[in-house]
Chain A
């Protein structure tokens, strides 16, 4: 009997963050729906109680059904029969159980049969799902595409599709093409308007589409003939019931093998335009990707959780030289670092989710009524923070998932290299997280702006201002010193005004911001819950200090003219 919510006190800690009061009050519009829906909360405590209960259900389904199926799903995987994807039997069972448990359409409004839960709750369920089966986490979390449909679709589209998602139909986002990966502006899939039938028609090929045989697709296509860049792209909704899209093949991947990655052919597929023409990439897909990046942060965090549990269990059990290997410093250090990186990952995951919650809900409220000036300020503040924290967290958490699963195998020694233990699966699954939805290198491109404009720095100062328990004074002083280093490093690079050089050092600057931000967040967690987080706060700050000083040394001793030794000719 395992419940992935109840056995993990850090989830409960993050669910009960002080900012939740504001988030829930906004999300529930001051609890106005209690009159109308017999499952809507009456007040904050009632809502939190419901989140608790639903997280417990999610933890139960994931712990009891998804986790035991994971190994078999990894080995069996999906297949293509007559141009359609057939999921592994375990995947079918997982989808059925999560649907029966009512865990689809978690964050959709009640009027479309959703639960109207905040992003924090949705992300928490993803975090748990990834710990059990990272591939399944994708299929389940793609329900978040409904968020984009809700944000930009018209009322008829919302009514047509969102209740179907809430009833368990799956979604996909069809973006990538053979020649348009990181550079989505190059998308070629053609959308033409069919006057006779008053609909759009899609023709072309998409590649690397996660869950590409889903029920409802969001498709990026070129609607403006003759254009070559992102401004000629629009977003479309394709309904599988209409037909016209076939699965040519699925990729044979290294990891997340339960999640089918499809090559799709569109032959005159009927589609609806979602939102306005030409805004497909520049507005809608950017929003879609931000949501997806948060989802991948959760996936990476869940994988780190799995790696930590597997590593510590093995190290306690395995005896060499007459004692458990966990007693050797070389091993316990690795475990302490895995745990610290895990706790740090979770800290920024939920901090970012809260930022996203506040601004997204306010944006939604803005469609209903005019916002008060202070609400507008609030929206602006959190939108900027979400924009800054999403790429930072995506970069940090997915790299940590790789490091943690790698170390998990290392702790297992030779056994970890065998298929007998799940750590090799975690390792393979983690490898994609810092690649898809934007590689770490691309997250750095998004995050460096906030290094240069000072978003991270001012947030560090906000954290520094927090009143904490005196026991944390030592760590806080050490962190303040790191901020000083960071404050010197940024202008040192930026003042060169040499864009190529700034790009060259960008990852180092973003990482130092990441180390400091994550350290502060762990400090806040330790302040609110010393028992759970004070060890990780100590370990992480020590690690962060060494990392930031390493970066400082590198940047300070680097001669701009040395770039030529790196540049490949």
Chain B
């Protein structure tokens, strides 16, 4: 059995190392000031896909990402780790997209990619933390979804078994292919980049990158076909411009507030029932819980 797997991945600002110029005056993220990285949970998703590829030789793993031209890095990172190919969805029309417009564009691109057995994405991206894009893509494609996956246990007879990590425990569920899985950060880390693949794909570039970058090795793109990265515009995937980007996004940022944690003093309690009870009462009283 071989599978056709699509992995959705996003390039995100590294919000784990935030400086003071991380936000712009209008309250949006200042992407230029933060290093761009592969969204961590999308790496967990990629690893799940690579494991399936290891288990079912002949499977193909296609990466799909939407973003500015520099998001081609995401495709390259995926290729360095074992993905077979990838598509960068990039167009000014897509700019400013919220989750609805993003999932609209992605689902159009997936339709263009064609038949698939499985779509895997991270649970959520660290820049927005919405966890909406994966589920919305599934809805638009009219397929089932399994969220919060920690492990894809097996695929057999067109059925997938997945372990989900939920707040109060784990759940083993089964679903029928084709379907979409979103993967939790508690899933295994992604494998390292591969020494051979990085040599094979280090010059992989999109058409627009080749126009802007002067590199002695550009001409080899003609001799090694595998290093031409596909780039799709809104028109390429037959997306309706009105449903894309800012105009397709009902979400508007109204106000941004800087939250400064103000820890006044720390408090130590022991494990006696009395102390724990006191703490619970205190937390309920000040509306921290309950």
Residue in contact with A101 in the complex, picked from B195, B199, B224, B226, CB distance below 8 Å: B195
Are A101 and B202 in contact, with the CB atoms below 8 A?
no
Given contacts A42-B217, A60-B192, contact A49 B202 (CB under 8 A): yes
Q: Does B255 contact A (CB under 8 A)?
A: no
Contact partners of A49 in chain B: CB under 8 A: 202
Q: Does A57 contact B (CB under 8 A)?
A: yes
Taken together as a complex, chains A and B put the C-alpha atoms of A488 and B186 apart, in Å, by 68
Residue in contact with B198 in the complex, picked from A57, A61, A65, A100, CB distance below 8 Å: A57
Residue in contact with A54 in the complex, picked from B198, B224, B226, CB distance below 8 Å: B198
Contact partners of A237 in chain B: CB under 8 A: none
Taken together as a complex, chains A and B put the C-alpha atoms of A319 and B17 apart, in Å, by 30
Are B195 and A115 in contact, with the CB atoms below 8 A?
yes
Nearest chain A CB to B213 CB, angstrom units: 15
Taken together as a complex, chains A and B put the C-alpha atoms of A42 and B195 apart, in Å, by 17
Q: Does B220 contact A (CB under 8 A)?
A: yes
Task: Tell me which of B199, B202, B224 has the highest count of chain A C-beta atoms within 10 A of its own C-beta.
Answer: B199
Residue in contact with B196 in the complex, picked from A41, A97, A115, CB distance below 8 Å: A115
Are B195 and A54 in contact, with the CB atoms below 8 A?
yes
Q: Does A268 contact B (CB under 8 A)?
A: no
Taken together as a complex, chains A and B put the C-alpha atoms of A542 and B191 apart, in Å, by 47
Task: Tell me which of A38, A53, A54, A97 has the highest count of chain B C-beta atoms within 10 A of its own C-beta.
Answer: A38
Taken together as a complex, chains A and B put the C-alpha atoms of A60 and B198 apart, in Å, by 14
Q: Does B238 contact A (CB under 8 A)?
A: no
Taken residue by residue from 90 to 115, chain A's Cβ proximity to chain B (1 for < 8 Å, 0 otherwise) reads as 00000001001111001000000001
Taken together as a complex, chains A and B put the C-alpha atoms of A525 and B116 apart, in Å, by 56
Chain A residue at smallest Cβ distance from B81 = A100
Nearest chain A CB to B143 CB, angstrom units: 30
Taken residue by residue from 35 to 77, chain A's Cβ proximity to chain B (1 for < 8 Å, 0 otherwise) reads as 0001111100010011001100110110001000000000000
Residue in contact with A100 in the complex, picked from B191, B200, B217, CB distance below 8 Å: B191
Are B198 and A97 in contact, with the CB atoms below 8 A?
no
Taken residue by residue from 178 to 213, chain B's Cβ proximity to chain A (1 for < 8 Å, 0 otherwise) reads as 000000000000011111111110100000000000
Contact partners of B196 in chain A: CB under 8 A: 39, 102, 115
Contact partners of B193 in chain A: CB under 8 A: 57, 60, 101
Contact partners of A61 in chain B: CB under 8 A: 192
Contact partners of B202 in chain A: CB under 8 A: 49-50, 53
Are B191 and A38 in contact, with the CB atoms below 8 A?
no
Chain B residue at smallest Cβ distance from A101 = B192
Are B198 and A38 in contact, with the CB atoms below 8 A?
no
Are B195 and A46 in contact, with the CB atoms below 8 A?
no
Nearest chain B CB to A354 CB, angstrom units: 21
Determine chain A's interface SS by DSSP, over half rule.
Answer: helix
Nearest chain A CB to B238 CB, angstrom units: 33
Are A39 and B191 in contact, with the CB atoms below 8 A?
no
Chain A residue at smallest Cβ distance from B199 = A39
Chain B residue at smallest Cβ distance from A57 = B193
Are B199 and A100 in contact, with the CB atoms below 8 A?
no
Residue in contact with B220 in the complex, picked from A42, A50, A65, A97, CB distance below 8 Å: A42
Taken together as a complex, chains A and B put the C-alpha atoms of A65 and B189 apart, in Å, by 11
Given contacts A49-B202, A57-B192, A61-B192, contact A102 B226 (CB under 8 A): no
Chain B residue at smallest Cβ distance from A47 = B199
Contact partners of A57 in chain B: CB under 8 A: 192-195, 198
Taken together as a complex, chains A and B put the C-alpha atoms of A28 and B199 apart, in Å, by 14
Taken together as a complex, chains A and B put the C-alpha atoms of A49 and B217 apart, in Å, by 12
Contact partners of B220 in chain A: CB under 8 A: 42
Taken together as a complex, chains A and B put the C-alpha atoms of A132 and B196 apart, in Å, by 23
Are B200 and A39 in contact, with the CB atoms below 8 A?
yes
Contact partners of A38 in chain B: CB under 8 A: 200, 224, 226
Taken together as a complex, chains A and B put the C-alpha atoms of A60 and B77 apart, in Å, by 14
Taken together as a complex, chains A and B put the C-alpha atoms of A60 and B191 apart, in Å, by 11
Contact partners of B200 in chain A: CB under 8 A: 38-39
Chain A residue at smallest Cβ distance from B203 = A46
Given contacts A42-B217, A46-B217, A101-B192, contact A53 B226 (CB under 8 A): no
Contact partners of A58 in chain B: CB under 8 A: 195
Task: Tell me which of B194, B196, B202, B217 has the highest count of chain A C-beta atoms within 10 A of its own C-beta.
Answer: B196
Taken residue by residue from 12 to 44, chain A's Cβ proximity to chain B (1 for < 8 Å, 0 otherwise) reads as 000000000000000000000000001111100
Taken together as a complex, chains A and B put the C-alpha atoms of A53 and B192 apart, in Å, by 12
Are A101 and B194 in contact, with the CB atoms below 8 A?
yes
Taken together as a complex, chains A and B put the C-alpha atoms of A39 and B203 apart, in Å, by 10
Contact partners of B217 in chain A: CB under 8 A: 42, 46
Nearest chain B CB to A33 CB, angstrom units: 12
Taken together as a complex, chains A and B put the C-alpha atoms of A101 and B198 apart, in Å, by 10
Given contacts A42-B217, A46-B217, contact A54 B191 (CB under 8 A): no
Chain B, range 25-67, C-beta contacts under 8 Å to A: none
Contact partners of A106 in chain B: CB under 8 A: 195
Are A100 and B194 in contact, with the CB atoms below 8 A?
yes
Nearest chain A CB to B78 CB, angstrom units: 14
Taken together as a complex, chains A and B put the C-alpha atoms of A437 and B66 apart, in Å, by 55
Nearest chain A CB to B3 CB, angstrom units: 20
Chain A residue at smallest Cβ distance from B50 = A100
Taken together as a complex, chains A and B put the C-alpha atoms of A91 and B192 apart, in Å, by 16
Chain B residue at smallest Cβ distance from A96 = B191
Taken together as a complex, chains A and B put the C-alpha atoms of A53 and B200 apart, in Å, by 12
Taken together as a complex, chains A and B put the C-alpha atoms of A375 and B192 apart, in Å, by 40
Contact partners of A40 in chain B: CB under 8 A: 199
Nearest chain A CB to B271 CB, angstrom units: 26
Are A102 and B195 in contact, with the CB atoms below 8 A?
yes
Taken together as a complex, chains A and B put the C-alpha atoms of A416 and B199 apart, in Å, by 43
Task: Tell me which of B195, B196, B217 has the highest count of chain A C-beta atoms within 10 A of its own C-beta.
Answer: B195
Nearest chain B CB to A77 CB, angstrom units: 24
Taken together as a complex, chains A and B put the C-alpha atoms of A102 and B201 apart, in Å, by 14
Chain A residue at smallest Cβ distance from B197 = A102
Taken together as a complex, chains A and B put the C-alpha atoms of A546 and B195 apart, in Å, by 45
Are B199 and A97 in contact, with the CB atoms below 8 A?
no
Taken together as a complex, chains A and B put the C-alpha atoms of A413 and B197 apart, in Å, by 47
Taken together as a complex, chains A and B put the C-alpha atoms of A54 and B195 apart, in Å, by 5
Contact partners of A103 in chain B: CB under 8 A: 195
Contact partners of A115 in chain B: CB under 8 A: 195-196, 199
Chain B residue at smallest Cβ distance from A110 = B196
Nearest chain A CB to B97 CB, angstrom units: 30
Taken together as a complex, chains A and B put the C-alpha atoms of A11 and B118 apart, in Å, by 43
Nearest chain A CB to B1 CB, angstrom units: 22
Chain B, range 120-154, C-beta contacts under 8 Å to A: none
Taken together as a complex, chains A and B put the C-alpha atoms of A40 and B199 apart, in Å, by 7
Taken together as a complex, chains A and B put the C-alpha atoms of A243 and B185 apart, in Å, by 42
Taken together as a complex, chains A and B put the C-alpha atoms of A381 and B198 apart, in Å, by 35
Taken together as a complex, chains A and B put the C-alpha atoms of A46 and B224 apart, in Å, by 15
Nearest chain A CB to B156 CB, angstrom units: 24
Are B192 and A100 in contact, with the CB atoms below 8 A?
yes
Taken together as a complex, chains A and B put the C-alpha atoms of A101 and B224 apart, in Å, by 23
Given contacts A42-B217, A42-B220, A46-B217, contact A53 B194 (CB under 8 A): no
Task: Tell me which of B192, B202, B226 has the highest count of chain A C-beta atoms within 10 A of its own C-beta.
Answer: B192
Task: Tell me which of A42, A100, A106 has the highest count of chain B C-beta atoms within 10 A of its own C-beta.
Answer: A100
Taken together as a complex, chains A and B put the C-alpha atoms of A57 and B226 apart, in Å, by 22
Nearest chain B CB to A309 CB, angstrom units: 23
Taken residue by residue from 206 to 230, chain B's Cβ proximity to chain A (1 for < 8 Å, 0 otherwise) reads as 0000000000010010001010000
Q: Which 3 A-B pairs have the closest CB atoms?
A: A102-B195, A39-B199, A39-B200
11 A–B contacts from the bound complex (CB under 8 Å): A41-B199, A42-B220, A49-B202, A57-B192, A57-B193, A65-B192, A100-B192, A101-B193, A102-B194, A102-B196, A115-B195
Sample of 18 further A-B pairs with CB below 8 A, known A39-B199, A57-B193, A101-B192: A38-B224, A39-B197, A40-B199, A42-B220, A50-B202, A54-B195, A57-B192, A57-B198, A65-B192, A97-B191, A97-B192, A100-B191, A100-B192, A101-B193, A102-B194, A102-B196, A115-B195, A115-B196
